[in-house]
Structure 1
Amino acid sequence: MKRKFSLAHLTVLQWTPPEMIYNAKLIGYDYVGIRSIYMGLPGEPNYDLSKRDRLYQLTKTALEETGVKIHDIELAKIEKGRDVLSYEPAFEVAAELGATDVISSIWTDDKDYYLDQFARLCDMAKQYGLFVNLEFVTWAAVKNLKEAKEVINTVKRDNTGYLIDTLHFYRSKVSLSELDDIPQEKFRMVHICDGPSEIPTNKEDLIFTGREGRYYVGEGAIPIYDIVKKMGEDVVLSLELPNLQYVRDYGYTEHARRCLETARRYFEVNDANCHCSHCN
């Protein structure tokens, strides 16, 4: 089968969107996922295309010249003090540039609030033809698949589904069987990376690996292939693999190339050895 690979912005966060797109073409990615919703985090570059006309034009030109597509934008956080309607300019620009998906996650324990906000987010996204992928994050308020299912099943919007990040899947101790009752059309993309077998017990160490120390696919203990196989052959494999040491060793371009090379090799080997019906 022909797997589709996307380069997630967190892997190469210092690259601007057009720089990402040109390099993704050179390296061999099919898509990019851009962080065009500015969160104001320490050291985070601002790639808000809705407020930076030149960056928008450069991004549009890069897409036209390369044929690489924007698959998704991030991050439409659900949190207190931020109305989801503030994301509309980013959604409008994403739709103009051909993106089809947006990533969201939930960072408040107020269930009534986050269910209302997430439903409103999905409704607004639908106006722009965007599918909302809810990601559970090990140190967030919605931190496992069970809690994500509750959100999806409660809001009942047809343009929403699940974004599994293999690191969070492993570290939130989700079982493979928990994926069995989810229709495959609810999985449009998956964040893939590997990680160590040990699961930290404190938030700081969880965050460190998540943002700075992920492994190349096949180098760690996460059953990535078994997870992805549950989602069907059309799921986009988005390489979210920030690792500051790898970047210091190789530079961003070589790191991004190694992300793709190791992932492709991993899936080629496992697809060749798989005996399920859609692999044969």
Structure 2
Amino acid sequence: MNRMIGLAHLSALHLSPPELVDAAAAAGFTSIGIRVYPATRGETQYPMAAGSFMSARTIERLAATGLVVRDVEVLTLDGIRGRREWEPVLEAGAALGASVLNVIGGDPDRARLTDSLAALVEDARKYGVRPSIEPISYQPLDSIPAAGLLAEQTGCGIMLDALHFVRAGGRTAELKALPARAVTVIQLCDGPAETPALPVPHRMPLEQDVNGSARQIESRAKRLAPGEGVFPLREILAALPDAPVSVEVPDVWAVEAHGTAAHLKHLQTAADNLIGSPLNTEMETTP
């Protein structure tokens, strides 16, 4: 299976976007995702508006290293945010050459979420960006079938996070039922069968909020590298052979213990080993 391996910003969110470019290139990644808008309440924001000094510096580092930005994150559609919030995010993503915007379905009103997402998809066309909904196991929009329906209704893409797919009880058969090329990015990580009981980190990158929730701590602070857990990653990859891969493995403890460079190189090597290994056809896939 020949795929280019990208790096999600969450794997090293303490790095500013220009720093992330250099660190990802040094570790052997070929693309990156960049956070240009906060994901959690009270989170520190990198000044990545189109035309800003940091955006220009990031573009310089991309040109120097040959890396590309595949996606930018993250816009939560919560029933309140609208065009005033998403236009600057789309501008920031387009300036970086991104083709995907990570969208979270935080609005429990499904009809309103559908309308908001449809408007966002329409607005994003002129920027060359495809908004892609990511099912999150602790958000109102949490399942692949629901995301697939939104893709059919609005033309949005889907970002598949392996962690949330497993934690929400996803099945690989659901992936095969999605519209063709609906999945724009697979966010690759691994983990144990059940959500672990983890301590709240004494400090989170960008002061992210985890709310004391076990799932949120795991999601934002402690995932496993591909191949180190029990997630059906080879089956997911086989079900979506054309989807790009982005390694999303935050581990605040590993970074503190071993440093960012070692952490990212470990992730790249683990992903490369997983993607390069064949699917064992005798292995029973997730039903």
* Same fold flag (TM > 0.5): yes
2:178 to 177, 182, 201: 182
Match of 2:34 in 1: 34
CA contact (8 A) 2:103 2:131 kept: yes
For 1:186 and 1:150, the matched residues in 2 are separated by 11
Task: Using the TM superposition, give the Cα deviation of residue 245 of structure 1 relative to its aligned residue in structure 2, in angstroms.
Answer: 1.4
For normalisation by structure 1, the TM-score amounts to 0.89
Q: Identity of paired residues, percent?
A: 27
Within the candidate set 221, 232, 237, 1:223 is matched to 232
Secondary structure in 2 aligned to 1:188? strand
Q: Is the 8 A contact 1:37 1:87 kept in 2?
A: no
Asked whether 1:94 is paired with 2:93, we answer yes
Change over 3 Å in CA distance of 1:26–1:150 after alignment to 2: same
1:143-182 equivalences in 2 (<5 Å): 143-155=142-154, 157=155, 160-182=156-178
Task: Please list every run of 5 or more consecutive structure 1 residues that lacks an aligned counterpart in the other structure.
Answer: 276-280
- Partner SS, residue 72 of structure 1: strand
Aligned to 1:252: 260
User: Counterpart of 1:241 in structure 2: which amino acid?
Assistant: V
Matching of residue 19 in structure 1 with residue 19 in structure 2? yes
* Number of residue-to-residue matches in the alignment: 269
How many Å apart are 1:184 and its aligned residue?
Answer: 3.7
Q: For the Cα contact (< 8 Å) 2:222–2:250, is it kept in 1?
A: yes
C-alpha distance in 1, partners of 2:124/2:158?
Answer: 15
When the two chains are superposed, the root-mean-square deviation of aligned CA atoms in Å is: 2.1
**Residue aligning to 1:236:** 244
C-alpha separation in 2, matches of 1:103 and 1:136: 10
Corresponding residue of 1:197: 193
TM-superposed CA distance for 1:80, in Å, is 2.9
Gap change, CA 1:154 and 1:240, over 3 Å in 2: same
Counterpart for residue 65 of structure 1: 64
Report the 3-state secondary structure (helix = DSSP H, G, I; strand = E; otherwise coil) of the residue aligned with 1:270.
coil
Listed as ranges, the gaps of 5+ residues in structure 2 are 198-210, 283-287
Deviation at 1:51, TM superposition (A): 6.8
| Greater relative contact order, per chain length (Cα 8 Å cut-off, separation 6+) | 2
Match of 1:278 in 2: none
Q: Judge conservation of contact 1:32–1:71 (CA < 8 Å) in 2.
A: yes
1:60-100 deviations in whole A, cap 9, x for unaligned? 11111111001100012101322244221221232122111
Kindly provide the amino acid, as one letter, of the partner of residue 252 in structure 2. Answer: L
